[in-house]
Each structure stands twice: as structure tokens, then as C-alpha cells.
């Protein structure tokens, strides 16, 4: 299987590198504004913007097309063949492309800003909830864009598939004359640089306006303007990436890498570095995946003729995969980590409960001898595999010992048990004194709290209650143990 | 472009095909409006967007599985739609799980599911396109092709819509409680989680039945736009749901008819834009929250406030210019100034005096005077002097009284300095209800039968208050709106 993977990968050509690079640059350029959108809880705004720029692109495109009608060459978002020709045609290619790109940018950015403004306006005038206003605006604008494309499709060769799925696969053949670089690389690389620069220069303003808009405003920084600027930059980034990678990848790269990075770190500056890196990684992995996985999977399920699949789609999937990985395995907040923490806590509580029970047993039956039958434990209600594990751990740590199928505390175990029972009874005394609860209501809460009272809190409770020696049930409170003598049981 | 009889033929539904397509999309439009109302009020308007995007991998996977099992059978609408439903449900389930583990916020969870599922769908779609059997037709699910609906499709759409509508009617009470107070519903012991799942299932169903006609990219519009439009007409959930359904159905019908007349216009996009038009109209003309209505109301209250301020100014002018005993009214043993209604009605008031009392510009004063004249509060005599009418005099007295009662209240109970209460009272006097006035009277232990208008607790306004009261005036409107 790995052999097959490597064999398929050895087909990697020069233009594959360009494809991966274009995708990675576009993804990284998107991840930067996306991080801010995520922090502002406006992730869906990225999605909405990438739909809403469509009419702007179409109108700008038609405008450019109309202007260029005198000299023949053609459209960017056209079929691959036309692009190949175009790339090599004119000498003034660079300047024309730059001009066309500018018009497209302006159109899309205007349309993005218009969408943001309309949303704001509708939300305010109509007193609507934000997501509803957003939904109305972006679906309407997208529908308008689709309609325009349908109406003028024959005149401008824009097609809807390309808008959605991009044409990353043909990106390498669309070379800018004079640079030798594919156009997608130049455009997206420029956008990445621009965004990076903006983040560096306006880091302080963005941070302030994102985390505390009121404070920002009171300090004289117009939070509204910052958010509008962010919108504009996002729209520009979206349109730069749009052409080469399509709308889906744009939406994915705005949100997913930022969310992934957010799971890995709590620090803003680190987040802004991690998010683009993850986006780039996701894009490269995506292209590798697009070259190998479809073939490997399809040939196994009886579809032998499939060689590859949409790279943009695969890039979205692979960033999704990275996100899933982070959800499961993030060192601080991952699901695994949380499960492990919970398990540890449960084992500790089960151990301490067992120690406490043995101690009480010893205490109550000085005459008949302490100890708890092993089989008797198994029949108790809280017995489960955690309790079983806890018992074995205590045995291994020599805190309890078994003699003649009776569990008994060892000397070290007794010190620990004493500490736990002391916590329990101190808490009962405290509850009885200050909360005025009847005697039969004390045990349950103390049973929970006993595991979380550290020596300082114990000392405070004892002082508060004038160093009591008897708890409300008339049982004696064990004296404080030497703290260094208490063995640690927290470590698994 | 097209002949008139073509138009007529379409509009009178003489084509069998048009009738079929119309029925299918209208049923979908109505369902989208009804289910969308609940989603809007639950603040989950965009969940439908996630459902529809997440349906793509389901569709493509269903196609691929059918092709693998039996080549050539891929394009079987029932199975593809089942796949769409499964994909949408899977996507929403993932979003729910992501939120459940509380690692990321709701919007991010929705966005991630949307883009990753859609990306996966595109991957599968390209694979489908590279199959030797070809893939004609899957794109119709993405962009929609209403004209291609068959009678069979429409039959299943109608059955599904019927079920959706029946469920919504039968569980209307439960869903409304879920919308407005979920925790209360839970406290009453209702199966909130199951109701929530059911509502989600309805959203998924609506998305699926809309996909063939509108396309999955725009399905969400039918879930969002009609309810938001309906929201402008009513505050009650029942009528809103009905209105939303009607708007959804009407925009669907409009879209289908337009695209039947002009085939270049895709029905899906036109349906959405028809809905947008309905939304724009509602936003402006809606009787409950419409912008125009709101503006008219504000203008009315603005004018009313202007009139009251004018009357009080007249009162203060007459009081200030009155004979001996009036100016120093504070010394009268009853503590009350005695500007009688007759006084008020007989004394002429000049524009200049009014201008110096309030900081109105000349044109603003003219407007206020004109509106007061129309309301019969003020009349103009032959020498171009203003007089209060009897009604005007009565209201002037009441206005001054309300104002001063509030001032006294602030001085006694809020411990404000007399020089500061004028502004506060200026803001509140317009919203004092009769009951509140009665309470004020009893609080201040005034003999309301004897005391008509208490003396102003501070020096009555002179020109120097100007800049301040200008500001006050602006704040009136805010009070009115919040009220």
C-alpha cells in the first residue's frame, strides 16, 4: 500500500509543484484574515463574503471584457486551452493582467463591502438577528451573480463550475510572461505578502478592536472602521484566491486552519503564525492526496479508471483532516487529553474512596479486626473496572495489602486514608456548623468534597472550627498527618 | 423577444410541464417558509446552508455506490435524494458534536462542516465526472434545474411537503415553545432534544426536496428570506408562519413563471431574487417593523413632542410676563403659581419670545407652530400674534404641571440640585402616564384639586439654557423609540 502510494507520488512533475504552491499560497493568504474572523465569531461571514463577491466579479469581468474587446485576448476564467494560448500571446501581458486584476479586485472588494454594509443596514433597520440578515444578503447576491453569469455567459466565458471549484489543475500552464511564474503564484503570493504586512503593521489595532471593541472606540480607534477594513481585505483575498482555487477552498481556508490553530494555542501571535502554516500544510497534503488517494481507493472498489480528483476539494478535505486530528489529539484541549484527565480523576477518587472505606472499617471493628473482603468489594454498587483498577494500583503501590482475601491498609496507606477521612469529617463539621444541615444530609457532599481539600484548606477549616476532634456524627476526626509522610496517589 | 401569446400561454398555465414544475416548487417554497420561521426564531437561520452543502458528498457517494454495485444505475433520483438527506444529516450531526465538545464556537463549527463536507463532495464529484458512464445530471443538484422536474419528482415532493406541513401544524405549540423558551420547555418535561432533532430533520427534508429545483447552493435562501420578510408584518408566530409560507410559495411561483417566459433566466436564481424583492418591500412597508412605518411613527411622536414643548414654552412666557404676584409666585402661601387658563388663552405670544425661550431655529419654530395650529392648539390673530386656544391652554397647563411635578420629584427623592432637574424633566415629561402623575401627586402630597401648576423649583429658562435644551430635544426621540 505504501509502495503504491510512493509509486503514484513519483509521478510528481514540475507543474504539480506549481499547483501545490499556488494552493498553499492562496490558503495561507486566506488563513490570515480568517483568523481574525474566527476570533470575532464571524466565521460564517467569510462564507457569506465568498458568495457575495460573485456579482462584483461578474460585473468587473464583463467590464474588463468590454474594454478589451478591441484587442482580442481573452478571459482568465476561461477553459484551459484558451488560457494556455493567452499566456504566451502578448508581450504586454504583464501590464494587462495587472490592470485586469486591479479591476477584478475593485469589483469584488466593492461587492464584498457592499454586502457587509447591506447586512449591517438590514440588521439595524429591520432589527433582525445578524445571521438572518447575512443569509438574506449573501444568498440574494449570489443568486444575482449566477443570473448575470447565465445571462452573459456567451459573451464572457465565465462558467459557474470554475467559480465554485476553481481551476487549480491548469494553473501551471498560465504563466506570466516576463516572470516565468504562474499567474496564480504571483497573485496569491502578493496577496499573502500584503496580508502579512497588514497584520504586522496593524496588529495592535486589530487585536484591540477584536477583543474589546468598546475599549477600542473609547480610546479613539474606530472599531467600526477596523471591521470594515477587515471585510475589504477579506473580500480582496477571497477574489485573489477565487480564480485559482475556487470558492470552496476559499471558505475552507478562511475558517478551518484558524480553528485548528486555535485548538493548539491560546496565544494570539502564535495563532497568527500557526494558522497560515497549517493552511499551507493542508494545501500541500491536499494535492498529494488528490494524486494518490482517489486512484488507490477507486481501484480497490472496482472503478479502475480514476486517476485523480479535484485538488481544491482535496485541499479542503485535508485541512478538515488536520482539524479533526487537532480535535482528537490537541495537547491542551483535545478529546483524548480530556478523556485521560477524566479517567485519572476517576481513578484517584476510586482509590481514595477505597482507602477511606478501609480506614472506617478498621476504626469500627477494632475488635473483630479490620479489612474488607475482596469478593465483598466486588458486590458493592460502585464497583466497576475503575474501582478494580484503583484497587490494583493501591496494591502495587503497597498502600494496601491482601491477607487471607482480606484487604487491609498498610502503614503508608493508613496515613493517606487518615488524611482523606480527616478531610471528610472536617467538611461535615463545617457544613453542620455553617449551613445548618441535618445530620443525614452531610455525608453526600463531604464524600465529594473530601477529594479536593488540600492541606491549606484543611488547616483553615480546622482553625475555623477551633480544632475539633469529633465530627457531627460523634466520630473522631483523625489528627493531621505529616504532610511529607502522605504518599502521592495522583500519578497514574 | 417573445410573442404575447407565449406569455399568455405560460401565465394561464396551459403547459402541462409548467404546471408540474410550478406545483413542485410552490410546495417546496411553502415548506421552506414554514420551517424557516422556526429556524429564524431559534436564531439558527444558517443551519440550512450547512445542511445543503453537506448534502453534496451524500449525493455523490450514493451515485458512486450505485455505479459500483450495478454500473449504469447511478442516476436514480430517489437514491440520490436519500444520499443527500444522509449527507445533510451527517453534516448537521458533526456540527452538533463539535459544539457539544465545546472546543469551538457555533459559527466556526458550522463553517468548518460546511466547507469540509462540500470540499469532500467536490472531490467525489470529480471522480464521478471521470467515470466512463459519465455523470450528466449531478450538477443539476448543485445549481438546480426546475424545468427538469418530472411528474414523479413532483409527486414525491408533494408527499414530503404534506408530511412537513402536517408535522408543523400538529406540533405548532411545541415548536413555538422551543423557539421562545427552550429551557422552560425542558423544565416542563418536554422532550426538547427530540423536538430539536425533529426540527432539524424537517430542515434536512426541505433542503432535499428543494435541491432539484433551486440547487443546493441556494436552497438556504428559501429557509431564510421568506421568514425574515414575514417578520416585518407581524409579531405573532402563527400569522408569521403562514405569511412566510405564502411568501415562499409566491416567490417560487414567480421564479418558475419568469423562467418559463425567459428560459435564459434560471428558475433557482429568479426564485431567490423574487424572495429578495418581497423582503425589500417588507423591509420598507411592513406594518410591524417596516422602516417606513417606523419612520412615520417617529415623525408623529417627534411632532407631538414639539407641540408639547411649544405649549410649555407659552406657559412659561405667560407666567414670566404676568402681573405682580405671578413673577414672584414662589412666595404665594399655597406654593402654587396661578396662571389661569383664561390668562393663557388671552395673552398674545410673540415669535421672538418663543425663540428666546427655546433654542429653536426660526424654521423649526415655524414648523412646530404650523403643526400646533393644525392640531387646534394655537391660533393666529390679526396682528400676527399667537394665542393659545382653550384646548391649547389646558394642555399647556398640564405640560407645565407634569414637567414641574417631575422636577419636584427629582429634587425630593433623587436629591438633585434644582439647577439640574430641568433637563432630566424635559426628557421624561413626554412619557409620563396619567397613573404616574397621580402617583407623583400623592408622593409629593400636593393637593391636586387646589394646586394647578406648582411653581418651577428653579429660575425659569432663559436663553442661556440654549445649547443644552437643543441636545434635550434630540434625546426625546430616543425615549420615544425605546418606549
Which ipTM value was assigned to this complex?
0.83
Range in A351-360, A425-434, B463-472 the model is least confident about? B463-472
Euclidean distance between CA atoms A102 and A61, whole angstroms: 11
Residues of B with Cβ-Cβ distance to A125 under 8 angstroms: 283, 291
Q: Which residues have CB under 8 Å from A52's CB, separation 6+?
A: A111, A112, A114, A115, A137, A138, A141, A142
pLDDT value at A28 more than 90: yes
Give me B286's grid cell.
Answer: 411592513
Q: What's the rounded Cα separation, in Å, for the pair A432 and A3?
A: 71
* pTM, full prediction: 0.81
Of B119, B218, B224, the CB nearest to A248: B119
Closest C-alpha to A299, from A54, A89, A8: A8
Q: Mark yes or no for CB contact B116/A319 under 8 Å.
A: yes
Cβ contacts of B217 on chain A, cutoff 8 Å: 51, 142, 146, 164
pLDDT > 90? residue B165: yes
| H-helix or E-strand spanning residue B454 | strand B453-454
Cβ B120–A317 below 8 Å, yes or no?
yes
The label of the residue with cell 478523556 reads A339
For residue B283, the chain A residue with the least C-alpha distance is A126
**Do A251 and B266 make contact, defined as CB atoms within 8 angstroms?**
no
Tracing cell 453569469 back to the chain, one arrives at: A149
Of residues B122, B225, B265, nearest to A313 (C-beta): B122
Distance from C-alpha of A399 to C-alpha of A378, rounded to nearest angstrom: 19
Cell representation of residue A408: 487491609
Return the exposure string of A69-99: e unless at least 16 CB atoms fall within 10 Å of the residue's CB, then b: eeeeebbbbbeeeebeebbeeeeebeebbee
Using CB atoms, pick whichever of A128, A146, A306 lies closest to residue B127. Answer: A306
Mean pLDDT of A371-397: 70
- The nearest CA of chain A is from the CA of B166 a distance in Å of 26
Q: Where are the beta strands (DSSP E) in B298-373?
A: 336-337
Helical (H) or strand (E) element with B440: helix B434-443
Distance from CA of B311 to the nearest CA of A (A): 33
Q: Concatenate the DSSP letters of all residues of B17-65 into one string.
A: HHHHHHHHHHHHHHHHHHHHHHHHHTT-TTHHHHHHHHHHHHHHHHHHH
Answer yes or no: is pLDDT of B145 > 50.
Answer: yes
Chain B residues in contact with A305 (beta carbon < 8 A): 130-132
CA distances from B312 to A411, B308, B392 (A): 91, 6, 10
Task: Name which residue leads in pLDDT, A100 or B198.
Answer: B198
pLDDT attached to residue B127: 85
Question: Average pLDDT of chain A?
Answer: 80
CB contact under 8 A, A160 and B143: yes
More confidently predicted of A97 and A455: A455
User: Which residues of chain B neighbour A266 with C-beta distances below 8 Å?
Assistant: none
Reported as a pLDDT band with limits 50, 70 and 90, residue B372 is confident
* Listed range (A326-335, A471-480, B27-36) with the worst mean pLDDT: A471-480
Answer yes or no: are the C-beta atoms of A290 and A311 closer than 8 Å.
Answer: yes
Alpha carbon distance A232, A238 (integer Å): 10
Report the C-alpha gap between B120 and A312 in whole angstroms.
10
HSE on the CB side for B94, CA within 13 Å?
24
CA B41 to chain centre: 12
Number of Cβ pairs closer than 8 Å across A and B? 205
Q: How far is CA B183 from CA A60, A147, B189, B192, in A?
A: 50, 44, 10, 8
Contacts of B116 in chain A (CB under 8 A): 252, 256, 316-317, 319-320, 323
**CB neighbour list of residue A169: distance below 8 Å, 6 or more residues apart:** A19, A80, A311
How far apart CA A418 and CA A482 sit, in angstroms, is: 11
CA-to-CA distance for A428 and A356, rounded, in angstroms?
15
- Return the sign of the alpha-carbon dihedral for residues B347, B352, B357, B358: positive
Cα–Cα distance, A429 to A468 (Å, whole number):
8
State the pLDDT at residue A469: 80
Q: Do residue B269 and residue A143 have CB atoms under 8 angstroms apart?
A: yes
B131 to A164: CB separation less than 8 angstroms, yes or no: no
Question: Between these two residues, A379 and B218, which has the higher pLDDT value?
Answer: B218
Q: How many CB atoms lie within 10 A of CB B359?
A: 19
Q: Backbone phi, then psi, for A328, in 5-degree steps? A: -75, -45
Residue B38 contacts residue B244 (beta carbons within 8 Å): no
Give dist(CA A429, CA A434) in Å, integer: 9
Q: At what angle do helices A183-201 and A203-211 cross, to 10 degrees?
A: 70
- Give the CB-side neighbour count of residue A471, counting CA atoms within 13 A: 23
Over residues A138-194, the pLDDT tens digits come to: 999 999 988 888 888 666 566 666 667 777 777 667 776 666 778 788 888 988 999
CA–CA min distance A471, chain B (Å)? 38
Locate the chain A residue with the closest alpha carbon to B294. A125
Give the tens place of pLDDT for each residue, B300-345: 888 888 888 888 888 888 877 654 444 444 434 444 456 777 777 7
CB proximity B96 to A under 8 Å: no
Average pLDDT of chain B is 81
The predicted model gives B127-155 an average pLDDT of 78
**pLDDT attached to residue A87:** 46
Minimum Cα–Cα distance from B259: chain A residue: A147
Q: Is B249 on the interface with A (CB under 8 A)?
A: no
Closest residue in B to A38 (Cα) is: B108
Which residue in the set A139, A144, A248 is minimally distant from B118, CB to CB? A248
Q: How far is B260 from chain A (nearest CA, A)?
A: 15
Residue A133: closest C-alpha in chain B: B228
Whether the CB-CB separation of B202 and B178 falls below 8 Å is answered with no
Give dist(CA B142, CA B124) in Å, integer.
13
Biggest CA–CA distance in chain B, Å, is: 109
Task: Please provide the size of chain A in residues.
Answer: 492
pLDDT tens sequence across A36-84: 999 988 888 878 888 888 888 888 888 877 777 655 544 444 444 444 4
Q: Which residue of B has its CA nearest to A245?
A: B119
B354 contact A CB<8A: no
- DSSP one-letter code for B336: E
Q: Which residue of B has its CA nearest to A314?
A: B123
- Name the residue among B98, B224, B273 with its Cβ closest to that of A144: B273
- Inter-chain CB proximity B269 and A294 less than 8 Å: no
Residue B395's pLDDT band (boundaries 50, 70, 90)? confident
- Assess whether pLDDT exceeds 90 at residue B87: yes
- B108–A contact, CB cutoff 8 A: yes
CB nearest to B112's CB, from A126, A146, A320: A320
Q: Do A147 and B225 touch (CB under 8 A)?
A: no
3-state SS, chain A, equals CHHHHHHHHCCCCHHHHHHHHHHHHHHHHHHHHHHHHHHCCCHHHHHHHHHHCHHHHHHHHHHHHHHHCCCCCCCCCCCHHHHHHHHHHCCCHHHHHHHHHHHHHHHHHHHHHHHHHHHHHHHHHCCCCHHHHHHHHHHHHHHHHHHHHHHHHHHHCCCHHHHHHCCHHHHHHCECCCCCCEHHHHHHHHHHHHHHHHHHHCHHHHHHHHHCHHHHHHCCCCHHHHHHHHHHHHHHHHHHHHHHHHHHHHHHHHHHHHHHHHHHCCCHHHHHHHHHHHHHHHHHHHHHHHHHHHHHHHHHCCCCCCCCCCHHHHHHHHHHHHHHHHHHHCCCCCHHHHHHHHHHHHHHHHHHHHHHHHHHHHHHCCCCCCCEEHHHHHCCCCCCHHHHHHHHHHHHCCCEEEECCEEEECHHHHHHHHHHHHHHHHHHHHHHHHCCCCHHHHHHHHHHHHHHCCHHHHHHHHHHCCCCCECCCCCECCCCCCHHHCCCCCCC
What is the side-by-side order of every strand in the sheet holding A406-409?
Answer: A372-373, A406-409, A400-403
The string of pLDDT tens digits covering residues A207-221 is 988 888 888 888 888
CB < 8 Å to A298, chain B:
127
CB contacts under 8 A, B 253-272 vs A, are 264-266, 268-270, 272
Q: Name the more confident of A251 and A242.
A: A251
pLDDT band at A442, cuts 50/70/90? confident
A-contacting residues of B 184-223, CB under 8 Å?
A: 217-218, 220-221
What end-to-end distance do the CA atoms of chain A give, in Å? 38
Closest CA to A356 of A348, A368, A345, A344: A348
Q: Measure CB to CB from residue A256 to each of B67, B112, B217 and give the nearest one.
A: B112
* pLDDT confidence tier of residue B32, bands split at 50, 70 and 90: very high
Put simply, whether B128 touches A (Cβ < 8 Å) is no
CB proximity list for B436: less than 8 A, separation 6 or greater: none
Rounded to the nearest angstrom, the minimum Cα separation between A259 and chain B is 7
Q: Chain B window 272-291: which residues touch A at a Cβ cutoff of 8 Å? A: 272-273, 275-276, 279, 283, 289, 291
Distance from CA of B63 to the nearest CA of A (A): 13
Question: Which of A115, A119, A313, A314 to substitute to test the interface with B, most B CBs within 10 Å?
Answer: A313
β pairing state of B453-454 and B336-337: antiparallel
User: Which residue has better confidence, A92 or A10?
Assistant: A10
Instruction: Give the closest of B45, B116, B125 to A135, CB-based.
Output: B45
Query: Which residues of chain A neighbour B218 with C-beta distances below 8 Å?
Result: 139, 142-143, 146
Amino acid at each position: 500500500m505504501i509502495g503504491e502510494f510512493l509509486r503514484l507520488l513519483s509521478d510528481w512533475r514540475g507543474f504539480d509543484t506549481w499547483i501545490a504552491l499556488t494552493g498553499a499560497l492562496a490558503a495561507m493568504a486566506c488563513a490570515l484574515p480568517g483568523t481574525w474572523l474566527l476570533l470575532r465569531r464571524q466565521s460564517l461571514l467569510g462564507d457569506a463574503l465568498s458568495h457575495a463577491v460573485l456579482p462584483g466579479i461578474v460585473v468587473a469581468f464583463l467590464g474588463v471584457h468590454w474594454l478589451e474587446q478591441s484587442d482580442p485576448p481573452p478571459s482568465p476564467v476561461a477553459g484551459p486551452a484558451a488560457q494556455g494560448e493567452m499566456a504566451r500571446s502578448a508581450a504586454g501581458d504583464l501590464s494587462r493582467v495587472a490592470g485586469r486584476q486591479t479591476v477584478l479586485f475593485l469589483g469584488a472588494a466593492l461587492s464584498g463591502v457592499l454586502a457587509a454594509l447591506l447586512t449591517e443596514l438590514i440588521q439595524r433597520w429591520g432589527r433582525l438577528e445578524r445571521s438572518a440578515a447575512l443569509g438574506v444578503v449573501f444568498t440574494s447576491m449570489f443568486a444575482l451573480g449566477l443570473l448575470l453569469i447565465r445571462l452573459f455567459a456567451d459573451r464572457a466565458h465565465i462558467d459557474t463550475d470554475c467559480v465554485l471549484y476553481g481551476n487549480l489543475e491548469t494553473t501551471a500552464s498560465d504563466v506570466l510572461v516576463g516572470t516565468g511564474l504562474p499567474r496564480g503564484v504571483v497573485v496569491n503570493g502578493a496577496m499573502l505578502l500584503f496580508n502579512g504586512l497588514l497584520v504586522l503593521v496593524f496588529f495592535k489595532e486589530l487585536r484591540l478592536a477584536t477583543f474589546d471593541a468598546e475599549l477600542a472606540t473609547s480610546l479613539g480607534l474606530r472599531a467600526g472602521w477596523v471591521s470594515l477594513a477587515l471585510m475589504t481585505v477579506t473580500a480582496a483575498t477571497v477574489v485573489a484566491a477565487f480564480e485559482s482555487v475556487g470558492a470552496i477552498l476559499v471558505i475552507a481556508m478562511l475558517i478551518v486552519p484558524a480553528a485548528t490553530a486555535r485548538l493548539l494555542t491560546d496565544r494570539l501571535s502564535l495563532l497568527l503564525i500557526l494558522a497560515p502554516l497549517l493552511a499551507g500544510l493542508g494545501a500541500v497534503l491536499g494535492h498529494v492526496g488528490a494524486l494518490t488517494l482517489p486512484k488507490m481507493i477507486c481501484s480497490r472498489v472496482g472503478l479502475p479508471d480514476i486517476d485523480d480528483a479535484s485538488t481544491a476539494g482535496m485541499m479542503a478535505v485535508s485541512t478538515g483532516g488536520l482539524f479533526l486530528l487537532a480535535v482528537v489529539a490537541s495537547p491542551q484541549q483535545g478529546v483524548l487529553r480530556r478523556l485521560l484527565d477524566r479517567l485519572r480523576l476517576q481513578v484517584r477518587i476510586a482509590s481514595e474512596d477505597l482507602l477511606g472505606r478501609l480506614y472506617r472499617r478498621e476504626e469500627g471493628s477494632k475488635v473483630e479486626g479490620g479489612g474488607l473482603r475482596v469478593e465483598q468489594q466486588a458486590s458493592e454498587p460502585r464497583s466497576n473496572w475503575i474501582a478494580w483498577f484503583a484497587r490494583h494500583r493501591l496494591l502495587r503501590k503497597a498502600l494496601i495489602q491482601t491477607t487471607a482475601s482480606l484487604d487491609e491498609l498498610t502503614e503508608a496507606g493508613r496515613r493517606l486514608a487518615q488524611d482523606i477521612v480527616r478531610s471528610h469529617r472536617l467538611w461535615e463539621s463545617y457544613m453542620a456548623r455553617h449551613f445548618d444541615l441535618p445530620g443525614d444530609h452531610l455525608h453526600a457532599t463531604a464524600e465529594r468534597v473530601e477529594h479536593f481539600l488540600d492541606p491549606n484548606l484543611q488547616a483553615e477549616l480546622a482553625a475555623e472550627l477551633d480544632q475539633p476532634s469529633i465530627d457531627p456524627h460523634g466520630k473522631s476526626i483523625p489528627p493531621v498527618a505529616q504532610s511529607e509522610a502522605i504518599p502521592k496517589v495522583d500519578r497514574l | 423577444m417573445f410573442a404575447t401569446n407565449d406569455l399568455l400561454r405560460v401565465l394561464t398555465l396551459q403547459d402541462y410541464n409548467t404546471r408540474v414544475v410550478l406545483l413542485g416548487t410552490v410546495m417546496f417554497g411553502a415548506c421552506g417558509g414554514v420551517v424557516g420561521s422556526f429556524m429564524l426564531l431559534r436564531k439558527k437561520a444558517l443551519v440550512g446552508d450547512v445542511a445543503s452543502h453537506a448534502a453534496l458528498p451524500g449525493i455523490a457517494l450514493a451515485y458512486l455506490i450505485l455505479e459500483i454495485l450495478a454500473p449504469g444505475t447511478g442516476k436514480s433520483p430517489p437514491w440520490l435524494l436519500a444520499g443527500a438527506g444522509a449527507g445533510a444529516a451527517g453534516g448537521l450531526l458533526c456540527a452538533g458534536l463539535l459544539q457539544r465538545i465545546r472546543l469551538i464556537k457555533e459559527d466556526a463549527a458550522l463553517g468548518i462542516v460546511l466547507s469540509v463536507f462540500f470540499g469532500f463532495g467536490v472531490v467525489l464529484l470529480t471522480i464521478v465526472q471521470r467515470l466512463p458512464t459519465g455523470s450528466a445530471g449531478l450538477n443539476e443538484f448543485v445549481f438546480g434545474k426546475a424545468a427538469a422536474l418530472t411528474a414523479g419528482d413532483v409527486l414525491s415532493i408533494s408527499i414530503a411537503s404534506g408530511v412537513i406541513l402536517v408535522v408543523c401544524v400538529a406540533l405548532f405549540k411545541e415548536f413555538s415553545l422551543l423557539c421562545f423558551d427552550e429551557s422552560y420547555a425542558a423544565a416542563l418535561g418536554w422532550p426538547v432534544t427530540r423536538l430539536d432533532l425533529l426540527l432539524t430533520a424537517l430542515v434536512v427534508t426541505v433542503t432535499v426536496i428543494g435541491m432539484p429545483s433551486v440547487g443546493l447552493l441556494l436552497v438556504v435562501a428559501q429557509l431564510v428570506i421568506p421568514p425574515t420578510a414575514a417578520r416585518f408584518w407581524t409579531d405573532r408566530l402563527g400569522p408569521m408562519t403562514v405569511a412566510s409560507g405564502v411568501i415562499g410559495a409566491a416567490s417560487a411561483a414567480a421564479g418558475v413563471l419568469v423562467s418559463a417566459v425567459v428560459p435564459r433566466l434560471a428558475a433557482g436564481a429568479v426564485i431567490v431574487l423574487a424572495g429578495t424583492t418581497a423582503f425589500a418591500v417588507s423591509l420598507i412597508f411592513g406594518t410591524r417593523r417596516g422602516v417606513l412605518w417606523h419612520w412615520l411613527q417617529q415623525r408623529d411622536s417627534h411632532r407631538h413632542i414639539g407641540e408639547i414643548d411649544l405649549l410649555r414654552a407659552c406657559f412659561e412666557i405667560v407666567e414670566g410676563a404676568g402681573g405682580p404676584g405671578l413673577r414672584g409666585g414662589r412666595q404665594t402661601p399655597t406654593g402654587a403659581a396661578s396662571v389661569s387658563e383664561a390668562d393663557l388663552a388671552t395673552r398674545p405670544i410673540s415669535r421672538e419670545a418663543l425663540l428666546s425661550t427655546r433654542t429653536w431655529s426660526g424654521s423649526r419654530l415655524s414648523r412646530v407652530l404650523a403643526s400646533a395650529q393644525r392640531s387646534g392648539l394655537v391660533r393666529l390673530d390679526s396682528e400676527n400674534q399667537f394665542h393659545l386656544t382653550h384646548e391649547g391652554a389646558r394642555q399647556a397647563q398640564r405640560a407645565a404641571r407634569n414637567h414641574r411635578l417631575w422636577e419636584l420629584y427629582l429634587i425630593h427623592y433623587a436629591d438633585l440640585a434644582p439647577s439640574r432637574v430641568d433637563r432630566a424633566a424635559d426628557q421624561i415629561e413626554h412619557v409620563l402616564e396619567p397613573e404616574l402623575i397621580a402617583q407623583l401627586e400623592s408622593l409629593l402630597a400636593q393637593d391636586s384639586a387646589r394646586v394647578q401648576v406648582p411653581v418651577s423649583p428653579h429660575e425659569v429658562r432663559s436663553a442661556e439654557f440654549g445649547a443644552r435644551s437643543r441636545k434635550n430635544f434630540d434625546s426625546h426621540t430616543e425615549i420615544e423609540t425605546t418606549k
